[in-house]
Structure 1
Amino acid sequence: MSNNSLSGMIPQCLTAIRNISVLNLARNNLTGTISNVEVSKDSSLEVLEIGRNRLGGQVPKSLAKCTELKVLNMGNNNITDSFPCLLKSISTLRVLVLRSNNFYGGIECLNTNGTWPGLQIIDLAHNNFRGEIQGILWRTWQKMMVTEDGFQLTIKGQELRRIYNSDRMSLATNRNGFKEVSLVFEYGISITVTNKGSEMNLVKILSIFTLIDFSCNNFSGPIPKEMGELKSLHALNLSRNAFTGEIPSSFGNMSALECLDLSQNKLSGHIPPQLGKLTFLSFLNLSNNQLVGRIPTSTQFSTFPKASFTGNKGLWGPPLTVDNKAGLSPPPTVNGRPPNSGHNHEVNWDLISVEIGFTLGFGVAIGSLVFCKRWSKWYYRAVYNILLKIFPQLEERIGIHRRHVHINQRWWRR
């Protein structure tokens, strides 16, 4: 029943059906609250798609009864709630999409061993989640840690195969400038993967595609180095948060990574050269952070545009700056900025103070001789006596022409 113009509330009779495996109500005009939606105790529900409606309220508590749930998509609604920790006991969960709602608070309840070992896609973007992300979280998602060809995601024994039909695959740009790649499967299930500026060509089946999107939230603290253990992760988006510290060098172990977006955070330090080993990486965005140093030189990094690194005033090297052919290092940075950047011209006050002192002293001396008659007389007498001591013969010569000399001998003896 997806992609229609259905309106009103979700009938409880739909979710109360015990033998239903797939319920897809996505892309309609459904309204009302979902808090009162009831799922039967022995529910066989494996796929629940209610994304892109106008549903509000909180996540139904009865979803905890769906012990066989594999796909849950509640994205693009008006749901206001904390993170649905009630889902953490559902070990079969493979896809969780909560993007573009009003979820808030932390996700600490996921820091438990054994939570969602088969998870492949988690999308929490465009919410109000906050707090630090602990390293134990990533170690529970075993499906993202192994490098394998994967196995088919099945529902009641039926494979969810990718439909390789151009009419069933869409790549479009929405009104916010985001690239949307829709993976369309049997039973009409549509999983939309969104990455700003990324034109990812997803050609793999759902069972081996993996994605983490925590963008546009308020997550803070360092990025856990344990993320480097997700060796089969294909897309990672942590942009538009408040992450601090350095980019973990362990990211170089994510050999399957195709898209990495860490832009608009508060990351510092150097770009790990280990990222140059990610041969499948086709999209990289590290812009608008506080990174410094030279951009790593590798075949992979040479393919990224300048926009991938802008907004980091301490970064240098291609493609941001022209490489130094002589092999000389650039001047050291000052507080993450080049010393010759527009806001770092320092005034040498020591030199200026010496010049000012000399000028004032010279002005006072000359001014005193010109404008003070007593001082000028004293100065001329002192100079005259010094010259006579040095050159005694001047007394005789000056005495012969005394009347032509401005200095009057009688005046000096007064």
Structure 2
Amino acid sequence: MKKLKKLDLSWNRFDGMLPTCLSNLKSLRELDLSFNQFTGSVSSSLISNLTSLEYIHLGYNHFTGLFSFSSFANHSKLEVVALPSNDDNFEVETEYTTWVPKLQLKVLVLSRCNLNKLTGDIPKFLSHQAYLLQVDLSHNNLKGDLPNWMLENIRRLEYLDLRNNSFNGQFPLPSYPNMLLLSVDISKNNFSGLLQENFGEMLPCLEWLNLAENAFEGQIPPLIYNRFHGPIFSTQFNLPLLQVLLLDNNQFTGTLSGLLNCSWLTFLDIRNNYFSGEIPKWMHGMTNLRTLIMGNNSFHGRIPHEFTDVQECIHGINTKTCPKPEFLLTLDLGDNNLSGKIPHSIGQFSELRFSGPIPHCFNNMTFGKRGANEFYAFFQDLIFFFQRHYEYAVLQGPEPSSSMRGRNEDPYLQYDPQDEVGFITKSRYSIYKGDILNFMSGLDLSSNDLTGRIPYELGQLNSIHALNLSHNRLIGSIPRISQNFTN
């Protein structure tokens, strides 16, 4: 097998240490051992002999010990390196020795691998990587200022993921516009100070930007996202191709009027801010919107008829003025000042001051695995968004269990261990995170001013684990419970 050029053993259950005979495969171009149960160290001598490699993915095994990245010093053909890990006993070191790499990478994934654990330094060899398209150094403990050369020298970079590290200082910008960078995630760091005035001018093609959980302050500069000025959603907000916008847990104010032209928006999270005003009527036209999270703001008034009149849509009739509710998978309007009747299109309406009868459309809601699969499918689209741009699509994620390998249950789309979801029952608000989120579904309409009878359709809900209608003014008999409800 000395002439073997490709070896793919991924997604199996191989265990034990890597066999030393792999070092004899001198013609090997692609090596993928990811998602197995290999243990022990990754031998530098084994890797250093495979100088014909173009692609190597060893992620999501149970390797331990220290791996020196200088093992790739003579790999002039290497384009893709993926060593993501979930094991605290595995470390990747790039600064241990002085070395000058011959490689020019296109994709580098070193997430959750205790990268440069002793120093917390960002790999310096990256400053010489002119052809990189994708860099993922997330979930390490990298420290210090992000070097200027990160966006200055790597001019072909399209995807940069530095989330969940300990970078600080100001986020550096290139000296002239980068027309290729599409996605930047620097959330969960310690970046601080004001965003530079020319942010939008230097990064004009961004489609994904996540700055959450840092220490940025002041106003968003006028040129970020082209024309920001004053309140974040001013009338000059003009991003018609924007798909994902995450602004949660800040101190933004104003109304949503500037989102009028964001017709491709699929994911909007503005919770825990100070936005105000009424929910705009024109939001019913945002037919691509699948997740809308607006909780804990100061929105008031009724939910507009145009936004929620989906009775005909629920029965499969999509008129020009009717949104497509099957696409809106997550809706959170909790902790606002909304009032009026519960509309016929219902999502998660916790802790709102609604009155009037409960609508009969509850049985159109999907709880449990089927609903989760549809939500996974949405994020699968986001993954394909990145795959379109790379010859090699290397994605990060937790190691899947054997029960998470179904057609619609992609292991990359499990809840992040740090994701948190609030759940209310009997007026008690609790925070949950971790694997339990995959098994939770519920509906809480307690402590409102609901009237009338409980609709028959409520008893037909499938896979719901908690239902709370207490502290209202409901009358009549309790509807017959279906067989599915008892599950």
- Pick the TM interval, shorter chain: 0.5 to 0.7
What's 1:265 paired with?
214
- How far the C-alpha of 1:18 sits from its partner, in A, is 1.8
Q: How many matched pairs?
A: 257
Note if contact 2:23-2:50 (Cα within 8 Å) is conserved in structure 1: no
**Cα deviation 1:359-404 (Å, max 9, x = unaligned):** xxxxxxxxxxxxxxxxxxxxxxxxxxxxxxxxxxxxxxxxxxxxxx
- Confirm whether residue 238 of structure 1 aligns to residue 152 of structure 2: no
Q: CA RMSD in A?
A: 3.4
Q: Please, which of 147, 150, 174 is the counterpart of residue 226 of structure 1?
A: 174
What's 1:99 paired with?
111
1:376-387 matches, cutoff 5 A: none
Cα pair distance change 1:92/1:292, threshold 3 Å: same
Determine helix, strand or coil for the equivalent of 2:21: helix
- How far the C-alpha of 1:40 sits from its partner, in A, is 4.2
C-alpha distance in structure 1 between counterparts of 2:91 and 2:245, whole Å: 32
1:82-121 matches, cutoff 5 A: 83-85=93-95, 89-103=101-115, 104=117, 105-110=119-124, 113=127, 115-121=128-134
- How far the C-alpha of 1:97 sits from its partner, in A, is 0.6
Structure exhibiting the larger radius of gyration computed from Cα positions: 1
Note if contact 2:84-2:111 (Cα within 8 Å) is conserved in structure 1: yes
Amino acid at match of 1:238: I
**Cα deviation 1:171-223 (Å, max 9, x = unaligned):** xxxxxxxxxxxxxxxxxxxxxxxxxxxxxxxxxxxxxxx31111111111111
Note if contact 2:100-2:125 (Cα within 8 Å) is conserved in structure 1: no
- How far the C-alpha of 1:310 sits from its partner, in A, is 3.3
Note if contact 2:240-2:264 (Cα within 8 Å) is conserved in structure 1: no
Amino acid at match of 2:13: S
Determine helix, strand or coil for the equivalent of 1:101: coil
- Confirm whether residue 17 of structure 1 aligns to residue 25 of structure 2: yes
- How far the C-alpha of 1:22 sits from its partner, in A, is 0.5
C-alpha distance in structure 2 between counterparts of 1:269 and 1:53, whole Å: 43
Calculate the TM-score normalised by the size of structure 1.
0.54
Cα pair distance change 1:299/1:35, threshold 3 Å: farther
What's 1:73 paired with?
82
What's 1:349 paired with?
none
Determine helix, strand or coil for the equivalent of 2:143: strand
C-alpha distance in structure 2 between counterparts of 1:280 and 1:219, whole Å: 30
C-alpha distance in structure 1 between counterparts of 2:257 and 2:192, whole Å: 20
Amino acid at match of 1:135: N
1:363-402 matches, cutoff 5 A: none
Note if contact 2:111-2:137 (Cα within 8 Å) is conserved in structure 1: yes
C-alpha distance in structure 1 between counterparts of 2:190 and 2:34, whole Å: 32
Amino acid at match of 1:24: D
Determine helix, strand or coil for the equivalent of 1:39: helix
C-alpha distance in structure 2 between counterparts of 1:307 and 1:271, whole Å: 18
Cα pair distance change 1:108/1:252, threshold 3 Å: same
What's 2:195 paired with?
247
1:319-330 matches, cutoff 5 A: 321=298
What's 2:142 paired with?
129
Cα pair distance change 1:91/1:76, threshold 3 Å: same
Note if contact 2:51-2:74 (Cα within 8 Å) is conserved in structure 1: yes
- How far the C-alpha of 1:45 sits from its partner, in A, is 0.7
C-alpha distance in structure 2 between counterparts of 1:9 and 1:224, whole Å: 42
What's 1:217 paired with?
165
Calculate the TM-score normalised by the size of structure 2.
0.46
Determine helix, strand or coil for the equivalent of 2:191: strand
C-alpha distance in structure 1 between counterparts of 2:255 and 2:218, whole Å: 11
- How far the C-alpha of 1:140 sits from its partner, in A, is 1.3
Determine helix, strand or coil for the equivalent of 1:31: strand
Structure richer in helix, relative to its length:
1
- How far the C-alpha of 1:42 sits from its partner, in A, is 7.1
- How far the C-alpha of 1:234 sits from its partner, in A, is 2.0
C-alpha distance in structure 2 between counterparts of 1:7 and 1:303, whole Å: 45
C-alpha distance in structure 2 between counterparts of 1:299 and 1:225, whole Å: 29
Note if contact 1:122-1:211 (Cα within 8 Å) is conserved in structure 2: yes
What's 1:338 paired with?
none
What's 2:440 paired with?
none
Q: Please, which of 38, 48, 52 is the counterpart of residue 60 of structure 2?
A: 52
C-alpha distance in structure 2 between counterparts of 1:237 and 1:295, whole Å: 24
- How far the C-alpha of 1:99 sits from its partner, in A, is 1.1
**Cα deviation 1:249-295 (Å, max 9, x = unaligned):** 44424343221111111111112343145543311213234667888
**Cα deviation 1:88-131 (Å, max 9, x = unaligned):** 73442011111122223433553875x11110111111111121
- How far the C-alpha of 1:55 sits from its partner, in A, is 1.1
Amino acid at match of 1:284: L
Cα pair distance change 1:283/1:141, threshold 3 Å: same
What's 1:309 paired with?
270
What's 1:139 paired with?
152
**Cα deviation 1:49-97 (Å, max 9, x = unaligned):** 1111111222234222222210011112436436524787344201111
